[in-house]
Structure 1
Amino acid sequence: MGQPVIIQIENIYYPILAIVGLPANLVTIIIFSRGRCGLSKCITRYLVAMAAADLMVMIFELIMYEIHDAYFPYSFLNYTPICSLNLALYYYFIDCSVWLTVAFTFDRFVAICCQTLQTKYCTERTAVVVIAVICFLSILENIPIYFVFEPREIIDNVPWCCYVKSSFYTSPTWIAFLWLETIITPFAPFVLIMLLNALTIKHIVLANRVRRSLRANNNGEKHTDVEMESRRKSIILLLAISGNFILLWMVNFIVFTYVQFTDTQFMEANYYDSFTIAELSGDMLRSLSACTNTFIYAVSQGKFREELKNVIKLPHALFTNLIK
């Protein structure tokens, strides 16, 4: 009997995603680190940190877990202690990526809607502090995950693979931890991002309506409104990033909600079960969110496209100079 269809899809999907996503995130880090995209240092810090977190998600989730498990079973990475550490790091970087997206959304909300707070909060120093705090708290949050797993089998006294402990779903401590984990990611980010986006859009719509009214009364003069254009670009970037997050995390969000209010468990081995298929599909979409931001920047930011072309041409220029 062949592999289930969902596993066959994963075995093709994840390598392709890694081939595209790894260089995409690397290029994004390089481009934004050069600081030539016309963005503030504050925004640049967040975007670089988000790309770095997404890059690490792809390494630990796609390469060291999904691809490795499919094509290189029973290597040293399958020893239970190493496997548990890899999964803890995998969830750690997912949390970092998610909460950095929330932090970026909040930063843009402050910049657009809170003019009095903008000068104090929307600074490079604040961005660095926020990023450091998110990384530190994510470490604390994910330390218990290392202890969630037990060996799936023991061969010659060597523990192999990772299997969720049965007590994880019955112990009051682990149940409380699962609820906390679910609230922190993805419930709270979903609510915060949607709320902040709604408030930001409302503020921009009202502000633009006032400015259009003032301009209409300004003797009918027609000239480019620099501030409105700046707001338009900011909202496009903000909605593209946060909207992408919400769309690609939606299935995962529904799965987490379903588990909390039913007797269903994560990581069931029945790959023909509808819930398992939904869970794995949600994981694939969530993984996709770790490599789509580069393409969002390329579509929405003209200067990013220019820098991207320069980075692509760089190897050719170096090779030409070497030959000369």
Structure 2
Amino acid sequence: MPGVYISKVYAQHDAAAHKSGHQEEGNIGADLVSASNARSEKFTQNFEKHYLRSQVISFYSRSTHYSISIILWIVHLFHIAANLAVIVILSRGRCGLSKCITYYLVSMAATDLLAIITAVILNRIVGMYFPFSFMFVTPVCSVNFVLMAGSRDCSIWATVVFTVDRFVAISCPKLKRKYCTGKAAAVIIGAFSGMSCFKNTFWYFIYEPLCTIGNIPWHCKIKSIFYTSPAWAAYDWIHCISTPCLPFVLILLLNAVTVRQILKAIRIRKRLRVGKQVENLNDTEVNNRRKSIILLFCISGSFILLWLLFLLTFLYVRIKNVSYFSGSNYNESNFNLEESGYMLQILSSCINPFIYTGTQGKFRHELRSGIQFSVNFISKIFKF
């Protein structure tokens, strides 16, 4: 923010001028210099505070600010409730899913929930109303960005290992007994969660204060060395390749092979049933495989579509040699592209509960039962 630092320069220059003009006037001159310095410092701090506040508020204070913020609260509270419902329903184990699938889906819902809390509530919504809360002191702000990136990566790799699990279960019968178990799923979830947290820890060191007020660093901006250092450039490429490029490739390849195996098995079963002249054409195995295809394609397809813009943003920044949005100039050309990518990322953390509801009949039944129980419980409380 050039204006903030320019104000510091002028204040310091003013204090130096006072000092040089009065240095020969004895103790009285020294007192005047001290008072002038105090006034200049106070003016600088007030200027910084009001300037930064105006920069933050200028982005959010539009004619529809309050209506948009209310909509954000309602929508994301609904998304939090939906992910909590997914965790509770799947954890009860009454949806007809195996333990390994249940573990993967619960881990996806938990990391999606953490992503919504860190990215939306702690970062966006709190930033609208409390831009100078402790959440935006630079160290805390940096930790929040690390949590956002870590929860996002965990959610992505939960989708990948779920795809791998379905591939092994359908295409590798011999490996299925060892891999598709609850114990193996728990170990795999712990492994990719730990790796994701470790990989994203380095994001803490790329941020610096947007400004300093009263010796307290406020807000975060990316250091300029991030764009010039070969080490940081390599880290950024590794980060983007591991998330989401590699998951894109793995999901597309594994889904293609899985669907090929499922369609092949369905054709074989149809030939066998026709040969046996079975009158009832309702095949439970075929129906289950179709549901697996639908669930797999909905989860992985939504992930690819909603993360595609983020990948394009990364390629645009690195190929065009421009910077990511700095947080101080909302007229930057890449602002709309980057913010749209983040919006779709957040949406990817909210969409899975609706996929389960649309594709899993037993999940819908458990959800209806839970809603009915909640309504009856609340009505009983108000009766008393």
Give the TM-score, by structure 1 length.
0.93
SS across alignment from 1:150: strand
CA 235–90 in structure 1, closer or farther in 2 if over 3 Å, else same: same
Of 288, 299, 304, the match for 1:230: 288
- Pairwise mapping of residues 116-131 of structure 1 onto structure 2 (< 5 A)? 116-131=174-189
User: Which of 97, 101, 106 matches 1:43?
Assistant: 101
Is 1:302 the equivalent of 2:357?
no
Other-structure match for 2:21: none
2:295 partner letter: L
Query: Tell me, which stretches of 5 or more residues in structure 1 are unaligned?
Result: none
* AA at the equivalent of 1:192: L
Cα contact 1:15–1:62 (8 A) shared by 2: no
- Judge which range, 73-82 or 14-23, deviates more: 14-23
Q: Residue 252 of structure 1 aligns with which residue?
A: 310
Find out whether 1:26 has 2:84 as its counterpart: yes
Secondary structure of the corresponding residue to residue 307 of structure 1: helix
Equivalent pair of 2:244/2:311 in contact (CA under 8 Å): yes
Contact 2:168 2:180 in 1 (8 A): yes
Q: 1:225 & 1:258 partners in 2: Cα distance? A: 49
Q: Deviations over 1:203-255 (max 9, x none)?
A: 11222122222222223543322211111111111111111111111111221
Residue 265 (str. 1) matches residue 332 (str. 2): no
C-alpha distance in 2 between matches for 1:46 and 1:313:
27
Cα 1:270–1:153 change in 2 (3 A) is: closer
SS at match of 2:217: strand
**Which whole-Å CA distance do the structure 2 matches of 1:262 and 1:63 have between them?**
32
Q: Where do 1:266-281 residues align within 5 Å?
A: 266-268=324-326, 269-281=328-340
Residue from 189, 198, 203 that aligns with 1:145: 203
Quick one: distance in 2 between partners of 1:159 and 1:288?
Answer: 31
> What pairs with 1:1-324 in structure 2 (closer than 5 Å)?
3=59, 11=69, 14-219=72-277, 221-268=279-326, 269-320=328-379, 322=381, 323=383
How big is the shift at 1:138?
A: 0.8
The change in CA–CA distance for 1:16 and 1:261 in structure 2 (over 3 A counts) is farther
Is the 2:325–2:334 Cα contact (8 Å) retained in structure 1? no
Cα gap change, 1:11/1:195 in structure 2, threshold over 3 Å: closer, same or farther? farther
Distance (Å, rounded) in 2 between the aligned partners of 1:284 and 1:139: 22
Counterpart of 1:267 in 2: which secondary structure?
A: coil
Return 5+ residue gaps in structure 2 as ranges.
1-53
Helix, strand or coil: the match of 1:286?
helix
Instruction: Report the secondary structure of 2:325's partner residue.
Output: coil
- In the superposition, relative to structure 1, how do residues 202 and 129 fare at CA in structure 2: closer, same or farther (>3 Å)? same
Secondary structure in 2 aligned to 1:152?
strand
Q: 1:27 & 1:186 partners in 2: Cα distance?
A: 27
Aligned amino acid, residue 317 of structure 1: N
The one of the two structures with greater contact order (alpha-carbon pairs below 8 A, sep at least 6) is 1
Residues in 2 aligned to 1:287 and 1:51: alpha-carbon distance in whole angstroms: 13
Normalising by structure 2, we get a TM-score of 0.79
- In structure 2, how many angstroms separate the alpha carbons of the residues matched to 1:15 and 1:257? 32
Larger Rg: 2
Native 8 Å contact 2:324 2:334 kept in 1: no
Aligned length: 323
Q: Is the CA contact (8 Å cut-off) linking 1:31 and 1:308 kept in structure 2?
A: yes
1:34-86 Cα deviation digits (max 9, x unpaired): 11111111111111111000000001000111111222201111110100011
Which residue identity does 2:126 align to in structure 1? H
Q: Give 3-state SS (helix, strand or coil) of 1:257's partner.
A: helix
Contact 1:14 1:66 in 2 (8 A): no
Letter in 2 for 1:120: K
How far apart, CA to CA, are the structure 2 residues paired with 1:212 and 1:166?
62
For residues 265 and 155 of structure 2, the distance between their equivalents in structure 1, rounded to whole angstroms, comes to 31
Q: Which moved more, 1:262-271 or 1:184-193?
A: 262-271
Q: CA deviation at 1:124?
A: 0.4
RMSD, matched Cα: 2.1
